[in-house]
Chain A
């Protein structure tokens, strides 16, 4: 269908202020947080009620028009990048907190509500919404569901999938369904779990009920300084083995430490090879007991220094560098590219060594920020998009790092999603029958393939091509790098 006809049709379905079609108006939607990938859609629809969404979906399914759902557009994997032959469905106007139930400890919100806004709205009840991705000031809960967002505190309090109870969803045929419920489980298949992390491929989320948790009485953070990666890795393992589950356990390498210190003046030791930030929460007596134990473990494993936060301000200061690591790195390089592999923690030393030698080979600096507690690694590749070929090399290096993660027994994405950027690496992580199973599953929800086409799961043809190029005569590229 040609754009003018499509727009005329959409105009019939929606009020005038719910439709954008001028190129200038479409421009802000051409990319999400992964700005290197851009595409203009034919139109953007910004509905105000669920009936409009149902009508748009019915229309798009009938005509096989691609639909890309968009929340706050903070995806780091291109999950909300438009399709050139389709529309963007923005949920920006679904921004209301609909109900807070203090007794059952839930909040029912629209998908465009910002992550942090939920915790703010229930703070007076002593409750909060636990998952806290770095983008929590801006990112929306609908997007969190699509990506199964994590955050610093998910080691102890779980990911989005663990904290969402119920979803209202519009299917591609315009039908409305409820997945999950206000009950601890619902009969039949766990479609609620399936929707979490499905990257906008299975349905349009129009309402989210989240679980609220009581805010811990107190929290304290430790900042430990290490000269060697093995020491820091051993220290993390020692904490876990001791039976303590920290509320957060983060690691940063020297480049990331220096960038963060320059940006946030958070008092980080700029000469440190690695720092660990460990948060412990609970009752006063519990926390002071655990602070003592963890301090002992860090020192035992070779920490040069352990700082303990003595006030809430100091705790937040310890975190400010870590929470601002991405923008901080953004200041020391014209561009940066964030990678999101997860590995078994014991492989940390090996993988960091692998990354360092890849970084050298490609001549691109890499700063490492790491959710050490749960093995989720965020290497940030520093590059300059204005230099010819540098982005291509960056992408290639990123792909190589993800493959290292897979070979280390991990995964290509811990919390950012596959989107458009990790399709090739999906071919490395999954076999053909597994990918086929994913396609069959998608087909069960979206038989015409209108939702976010081309994302999340590569076609078998693409993988055949990638694998043929990739493994040349039985040789992996860069054979000198250890695979494990």
Chain B
């Protein structure tokens, strides 16, 4: 592999779980991580793996000794004409996006930061994607390869730097959203995409059910949609593509231009809209996109063309989960509430067994982020 850009362990301002790792070479760094995990595996010591720890609020209560991978930084390779970037897990997302933007490209799944310290490893572990997700794809859709250390302290590499790769099971994608319970991520290869030439946000004043109908109607047409959100009587859509394509869509779809559109989508992605300021529990509801308004008590914001609904509510967990499950969806208690209880939607019994078996296959001693995703894994 040719390294077009390399910058290892340059950030010394960050606290690190390992003493003196800042001074060590990269090989030493991953060797130390392997050693640390082997030790923990032998002793059964639970480890809490963190990057920027900006998503500390997500999932069940973390436990275990902190292993900070935020010092493992650097872009291993990036060649714009290959549409592939390979980055160490501790590299801040913002840094990677800035570098890609320099070549007119981006991580197209618009990962949320929730803070400038957010790292690439964290985005893979949490599996979070931004407003474009229904139209361009999610984190897992863009992951091409992962290097990780499993719970036995083995250094493993899956997938690669090519677009198509079906050699072996797709362990790279399995790591996405696993909350670090299957392996500590060392580096990741992503497919990148060109930054769209033109972008425009249109806004419409409509009711929630009309908004749901519109978002789904438009998604079935060949339009350059890249986001669709409904909040308090306003439907916003983002059109991204060529100048000509966006202009044609604007003519077709009407509405008013929102000149502050890009700020809106950023604030939505980072949960900085006033909607997210409530002190009630914030739920993330994933439902089939055309699902009619759920009518749950509390405030609702519809993202992802209706497929991801944020609910700020005091309603009990059971009632919310039951209502969402009834329409074929699932509910995550995203922020707030009792984190010793289920945060992610409970699994069907057959799936729970598979999860336990898989956890056991990757982390037999159960030391990697135990209980962060589900109590038993």
Residues on A with beta carbons closer than 8 Å to the beta carbon of B193? 245
Q: Which of B81, B138, B168, B221 contacts A434 (CB 8 A)?
A: B168
Q: Which of B141, B157, B166, B241 contacts A417 (CB 8 A)?
A: B166
The answer to whether A45 has its CB under 8 Å from any CB of chain B is no
Residues on B with beta carbons closer than 8 Å to the beta carbon of A431? 156-157
Contact B361 A187 (CB under 8 A): no
> Could you list 13 examples of A-B contacts with CB < 8 Å?
A103-B290, A162-B137, A171-B350, A183-B288, A188-B351, A190-B176, A190-B178, A243-B195, A290-B242, A344-B161, A429-B167, A437-B154, A437-B156
The answer to whether B35 has its CB under 8 Å from any CB of chain A is no
Residues on B with beta carbons closer than 8 Å to the beta carbon of A410? 160, 162
Residues on B with beta carbons closer than 8 Å to the beta carbon of A343? 162
Contact with B along A185-199 (1 / 0, CB 8 A): 111111101101110
The answer to whether A345 has its CB under 8 Å from any CB of chain B is yes
Contact A409 B286 (CB under 8 A): no
Q: A445 to nearest B CB, angstroms?
A: 7
CB within 8 Å of A: which B151-170 residues: 154-158, 160-170
Contact B79 A216 (CB under 8 A): no
Contact A150 B164 (CB under 8 A): yes
The answer to whether A248 has its CB under 8 Å from any CB of chain B is no
Q: Knowing A193-B174, A411-B167 touch, does A243 contact B158 (C-beta < 8 A)? A: no
Q: Knowing A103-B290, A190-B177, A245-B194 touch, does A374 contact B163 (C-beta < 8 A)? A: yes
Q: Knowing A243-B104, A245-B193 touch, does A191 contact B351 (C-beta < 8 A)? A: yes
Residues on B with beta carbons closer than 8 Å to the beta carbon of A375? 82, 162-164
Among B137, B177, B224, chain A packs the most CB atoms within 10 A around the CB of B177
Contact B162 A418 (CB under 8 A): no
CA gap between A344 and B83 in the complex, in Å: 10
Contact with A along B93-125 (1 / 0, CB 8 A): 000000000001000000000000000000000
Q: Knowing A159-B164, A161-B170, A244-B194 touch, does A185 contact B177 (C-beta < 8 A)? A: yes
CA gap between A161 and B143 in the complex, in Å: 12
CA gap between A190 and B169 in the complex, in Å: 12
CA gap between A186 and B150 in the complex, in Å: 23
Stretch of A23-31, A173-181, A223-231 on the interface side: A173-181
CB within 8 Å of B: which A339-361 residues: 342-346
CB within 8 Å of B: which A226-252 residues: 237-238, 240-241, 243-245
Q: A193-B173, A243-B195, A289-B242 are in contact. List 6 more A-B contacts (CB 8 A).
A: A183-B330, A187-B345, A193-B176, A240-B81, A430-B168, A441-B169
Q: Knowing A171-B350, A193-B140, A194-B174 touch, does A240 contact B244 (C-beta < 8 A)? A: no
Q: Knowing A183-B288, A214-B220 touch, does A418 contact B167 (C-beta < 8 A)? A: yes
Contact B355 A440 (CB under 8 A): no
Q: What's the interface size class on A, roughly? A: 35 or more
CA gap between A215 and B223 in the complex, in Å: 10
CB within 8 Å of A: which B331-353 residues: 332, 344-348, 350-351
The answer to whether B304 has its CB under 8 Å from any CB of chain A is yes
The answer to whether A127 has its CB under 8 Å from any CB of chain B is yes
Residues on B with beta carbons closer than 8 Å to the beta carbon of A245? 193-194
Q: What is the interface of chain B, defined by CB distance below 8 A to chain A?
A: 1, 79-84, 104, 127, 133-134, 137-138, 140-141, 150, 154-158, 160-171, 173-174, 176-178, 182, 193-195, 197, 216, 219-224, 241-242, 244-245, 247-249, 286-290, 304, 307-308, 328-330, 332, 344-348, 350-351, 354-355, 357-358, 360-362, 373-374
Q: Knowing A374-B163, A374-B164 touch, does A161 contact B173 (C-beta < 8 A)? A: yes
Contact B134 A346 (CB under 8 A): no
Contact with B along A245-281 (1 / 0, CB 8 A): 1000000000000000000000000000000000000
The answer to whether A105 has its CB under 8 Å from any CB of chain B is yes
What residue in chain B is nearest A159 (Cβ atoms)?
B164
Residues on A with beta carbons closer than 8 Å to the beta carbon of B216? 103-105
Residues on B with beta carbons closer than 8 Å to the beta carbon of A60? none
Residues on A with beta carbons closer than 8 Å to the beta carbon of B329? 181, 183
Q: Knowing A183-B330, A345-B81 touch, does A438 contact B169 (C-beta < 8 A)? A: yes
Contact A189 B245 (CB under 8 A): no
Q: B148 to nearest A CB, angstroms?
A: 10
The answer to whether A96 has its CB under 8 Å from any CB of chain B is no
Residues on A with beta carbons closer than 8 Å to the beta carbon of B194? 243-245
Q: Knowing A105-B219, A437-B361 touch, does A184 contact B307 (C-beta < 8 A)? A: yes
Q: Knowing A103-B290, A187-B345, A283-B222 touch, does A441 contact B163 (C-beta < 8 A)? A: no
Contact A413 B166 (CB under 8 A): yes
Contact A214 B221 (CB under 8 A): yes
